[in-house]
């Protein structure tokens, strides 16, 4: 990588840190289309996992203990495992060009659906996941399975978790803290898996190191925003950026 590419990774890492600790969801679907404007889409996917893992570690410090009970977390992890495994099996089989367009379309629909809740895709997802609660492991299994698959293929598991946690988490600190601990475990798995199937290698992974200070700074800023700023407005700004980036990725 050249200096410009290292700079792009650092800048994207900074904003992903803000999104992770400020909003709780959207960091992954922000990372992938943004990095894919510069890197091949599967390399961008591989870079996203360690970048998010660093912000997860920082986020755990800010939200330690502010998550759902361990029994509920354990059930969700077990339910997500089949989807995580299937995603790694499918990823090498998908052509890069098709994958790039699919990521762009998914990011666009993701942002559009959350900006306009009556958008048909969002309505269908809410109908499917909207009645889940933290005490019902059986009904949450389907959502966790889809989370695992979408997380591996597009870092988009936050969409599924957000629809589940909006009813399961009692407040926004629990909401963000729960997403961070869930992503922390799955991003360890994804980073190791991307290395195993050669989506990235050790040299590519080293490209994340210069971004770490920026991720730390972004995570600090995001935590402050979560406490003091208009949470809804901040989330809408992030979603508009995701939508624009996803359109650029498609064309």
Joined together, the tokens standing for residue 242 give 């995701």
Model confidence at 181, in pLDDT bands (50, 70, 90)? Answer: confident
pLDDT of residue 71: 80
Backbone angles phi, psi at 200, to 5 degrees: -130, 165
Of 160, 163, 124, 166, give the one whose Cα is nearest residue 145.
160
Q: How many domains does the chain have?
A: 1
Q: Mean pLDDT of all residues in the chain?
A: 76
Domain range for residue 91?
A: 3-250
DSSP structure string for 103-114:
HHHHHHHHHHHH
CA dist., res. 54 & res. 43, Å (int): 18
CB 13, CB 7: distance < 8 Å: no
pLDDT > 70 in the chain, percent: 75
| Exposed e or buried b per residue across 96-110, where buried means at least 16 C-beta atoms within 10 angstroms of its C-beta | eeebbebbbebbbbb
Task: Find how far residue 104's CA is from the centre of its chain.
Answer: 15
**What confidence tens digit (pLDDT) does each residue in 15-62 have?**
888 887 777 666 777 788 888 888 888 888 888 888 888 888 888 888
At residue 111, does pLDDT exceed 80? Answer: no
């Amino acid at each position: 990588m050249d200096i410009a590419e290292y700079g792009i990774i650092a800048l994207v890492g900074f904003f992903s840190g803000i999104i992770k600790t400020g909003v709780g969801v959207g960091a992954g679907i922000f990372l992938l289309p943004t990095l894919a404007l510069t890197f091949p889409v599967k390399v961008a996917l591989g870079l996203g996992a360690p970048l998010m893992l660093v912000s997860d570690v920082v986020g755990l410090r800010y939200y330690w203990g502010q998550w759902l009970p361990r029994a509920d977390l354990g059930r969700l992890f077990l339910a997500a495992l089949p989807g995580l495994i299937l995603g790694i099996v499918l990823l090498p089989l998908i052509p890069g060009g098709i994958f790039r367009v699919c990521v762009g379309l998914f990011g666009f629909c993701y942002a559009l659906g959350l900006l306009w809740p009556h958008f048909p895709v969002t309505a269908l997802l809410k109908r499917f996941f909207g009645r889940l609660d933290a005490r019902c492991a059986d009904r949450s299994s389907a959502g966790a399975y889809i989370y695992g698959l979408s997380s591996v293929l597009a870092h988009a598991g936050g969409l599924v978790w957000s629809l589940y946690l909006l009813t399961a988490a009692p407040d926004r600190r629990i909401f963000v803290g729960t997403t961070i601990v869930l992503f922390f475990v799955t991003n360890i798995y994804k980073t190791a898996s991307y290395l195993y199937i050669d989506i990235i290698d050790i040299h590519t992974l080293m490209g994340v190191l210069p971004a770490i200070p920026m991720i730390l700074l972004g995570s600090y800023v995001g935590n402050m925003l979560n406490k003091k700023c208009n949470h809804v407005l901040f989330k809408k700004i992030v979603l508009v950026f995701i939508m624009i980036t996803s359109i650029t990725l498609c064309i």
